[in-house]
Structure 1
Amino acid sequence: MADPIAAAILAACAACAVVALLDLVLNGRWWFWLVVSLVPPPALVLLPSLLLPAALVAGGPYRPVAVVASLVGLVAGYRRSGIDLGAIGRGPAVTTSERELKVCVWNTEHWYQQGDPGPFYAFLRSLDADVLMLQEYHHDNHDGTWTAIDDMARLRTAFPGHHVVADHGQVTISRLPARHVPTTAERVLRVDVDVPGPAGTHRVSFVNVHVPVQIRRVSPLRRVFYREVRARADHREREFAALADDVGGIDHPLLVAGDFNTSPAMADARRVTSLGEDAARTRAMVFPRSWHARGARLWRIDWALTRNGLEVHEYGLERAQGLSDHCVQHLTVGVGTRHRSHHG
């Protein structure tokens, strides 16, 4: 192989390793790295995977350096890629519960703002969920702000006999008795549901989450872009800290779920997974993808996590009939579980 080509491969491998090391140091520590971490998570593995074989066949005295650099990039990238090769062959948990609940979690993308409420409500009813956790119960002002709406009359007509709670830009709808519990976090709605079972009534908390997005859609050539990134990074920091406090104060079974606007490439993903057991890890999901639901599903920004004995029997992600850019998270959770074993 010609020396210029080998030099180019070495430079690319070195750059890949340097970026991986900078990511290790700056991701989650410097507000501007939120912009860098918007990189598609699969790219963190794809690029070093392409460079590694090229480094192996390259000539020149620096081939070992290129190989090591590409391996550093590959290992570091895998940690942030959202790919879970351990899911291959993973069997489902075998559970015996007193009661199962069907839960659906969905970011509605500004609550039918761009369309007819008829198909929107027909879709909500078709989900046939015991508990329905919805985000973005508001309209977008297209300037980085949003406007609160009041659609409670239509909600109660669409879901007769259900308990409907709306606050903080979220809605939770329950077939079972439910009550609103205040939270410290600003964009979080906690609803406690009473679930009857043979051994008595179980209290389960459903924590409906929408973490602010990292950027405002304005030109990066304008100062407002960087002011918004800094402000939103601070807001996200406050929200994650408050959410951790809210969740940590609950000692009974709970589900924390919603749109975290956090991909696996972001250090904030560690904050997400610290909230509970990742529902996707209960299934053989090598690469969960919840966004973009209208086109090619690229990566994951919607999560569901359980704590304090609430078990996930089923978990999946499905498109939303073109009504939103987010997939619907479908879960079946077990309440009052007495026995658990694993196979696979």
Structure 2
Amino acid sequence: MTIGALVLWAAVLWSAYLLAHLLLNGRWWGWLLPSLAPPPLFVAVPVLLGALGLTAGGSAGLGAAALAAVALVAGVGQSGLLLPRPRRGPRPAPPGEALRLVSWNTQHWCQRTDPERFYPFLRQLNADVYLLQEHHHDRFDGTYALINEEARLRATFPEYGIVIARGLVTMSRLPVAEVVGTAAQRTLRVDLRLPGGGVLATFNVHIPVQLRLLSPLRAEFYRAVRSRAADREREYRGLASDVADCPHPALIAGDFNTTPAMGDARRITQLGADTVHMTGRLYPASWQPRPGMRWWRLDWVLTTPGARVHTYRFRDPGDLSDHCVQEVTVTLDGAPRPSC
């Protein structure tokens, strides 16, 4: 078999995987595992196959290159890459009106790090509003134990209102207008009263991870995947209902445990406007921050009409967490929220 024929077969196999991914992703629980593929592969693989096909030449090589080009176009939306768009001037917030908000998965709340570094780091972020996830400790068996750090938080942030529930913490310098119950069990909604009299609803979100760290040779591994797929389905449906029923401009942020290559990313983008392009990154990634490289994006910030994001960036957490800090500035633009 010639090199061109081998490359053609590889392009056919990749195209078959991509077709199955586009059809089954987010629609069948069993595809949760294949959807864990690193998002950059959806660009890297067809580019490599296309280059190999053109190098091999001949009808098989050129056919592989053509098939790879189609796969590249079909799969680039799964890659997490942000396509270039016309640059716009900055949207400066009105002086004194911008709300500085951070969202951060704390990786089990300094379970493996020094609290004497963790709390000063939180304080150093100097946000008006904190949306913090994983206010719990890992039991390393697929479950976690809730903790109570309220006393230390109140001592460290005496000027903040603090709401703790469901392993989530929301802290705000602004008055808390209301804490609203949600259908989503891994979400904490806290409505904040802004100086101008408006209300901003904040949704602090932590979607369950897809799998447990068990051997894939055990049936329990697949039962856990199916169970967690159902958990994620309920969470996303509940969150969609909660956001739709919210009468105020809303900011939805947190760790969604969802990459751009997963079908659940469609559910996320239906919640509100994703302004990640404001990071200025070709490949915005928030998970596993390491020098010179981050793996992919699991953390999202979205807004509904009436809330306007002016800046958005990922901040390095040092070695305190495996998630970057999401930092945004937001204002209310006065636009009425459409009725649902």
Counterpart residue number, 1:302: 299
For residue 203 of structure 1, what is the aligned residue in structure 2? Answer: 199
Q: Per-residue deviation at 1:212?
A: 0.3
Equivalent position amino acid for 2:314 in 1: L
2:179 is aligned with 1:180: yes
Letter in 2 for 1:180: V
* CA displacement at 1:294 relative to structure 2: 4.3
| Paired position in structure 1 for 2:338 | none
Matched with 2:8 is 10
Structure 2 residue matching 1:331: 3-state secondary structure = strand
TM-score (norm 2): 0.94
Deviation at 1:114, TM superposition (A): 1.3
Which of these residues, 116, 124, 136, is aligned with residue 122 of structure 2?
124
Distance 1:96 1:122 in 2: 30
* Shift of residue 98, structure 1, vs aligned partner: 7.1
Structure 1: which amino acid aligns with 2:302?
L
Name the residue aligned to 1:342.
none
User: Conserved in 2, the CA contact under 8 Å of 1:187 and 1:209?
Assistant: yes
Cα drift, residue 275 of structure 1: 0.7
Partner Cα separation in structure 1 for residue 74 and residue 88 of structure 2: 24
- Number of corresponding residues: 333
**AA partner of residue 322 (structure 1):** D
Residues 11-160 of structure 1 aligned to structure 2 (within 5 Å): 11-87=9-85, 89-93=87-91, 96=94, 99-160=97-158
CA distance in 2, matches of 1:94, 1:101: 12
Give the superposition deviation at 1:319. Answer: 1.0
The secondary structure found in structure 1 opposite 2:130 is strand
* Structure-2 residue corresponding to 1:216: 212
* Aligned counterpart in structure 1 of residue 317 of structure 2, from 310, 317, 320: 320
Does 1:271 pair with 2:270? Answer: no
Contact 2:252 2:303 (C-alpha < 8 Å) held by counterparts = yes
Q: Distance in 1 between matches of 2:93 and 2:327?
A: 18
Question: Which segment is superposed worse, 165-174 or 45-54?
Answer: 45-54
Counterpart amino acid of residue 36 in structure 1: P
Q: Where is the strand percentage greater, Structure 1 or Structure 2?
A: 1
Shift, 1:50, TM fit? 1.0
Residue aligned with 1:99, SS = coil
- Evaluate the alpha carbon distance shift between residue 114 and residue 181 of structure 1 in structure 2; reply closer, same or farther with a 3 A threshold: same
* 4+ long deviations beyond 6 Å: none
Indicate the structure whose relative CO is greater, using CA pairs within 8 Å and at least 6 residues apart.
1
Q: After TM superposition, give the deviation of residue 96 of structure 1 in Å.
A: 4.3
Instruction: Specify whether residues 90 and 233 from structure 1 end up closer, same or farther in structure 2 by C-alpha distance, changes over 3 A only.
Output: farther
Distance in 1 separating the partners of 2:167 and 2:51: 49
Supply the RMSD in Å over aligned alpha carbons.
Answer: 1.7
Equivalent position SS for 1:93: coil
Q: Percent identity?
A: 48
Three-state SS of the structure 1 residue aligned to 2:209 is coil
Residue in structure 2 matched with residue 341 of structure 1 by the alignment: none
| Long gaps (5+) in structure 1 | 339-344
Gaps of at least 5 residues in structure 2 are: 336-340
Give the partner amino acid of 1:28. Answer: G
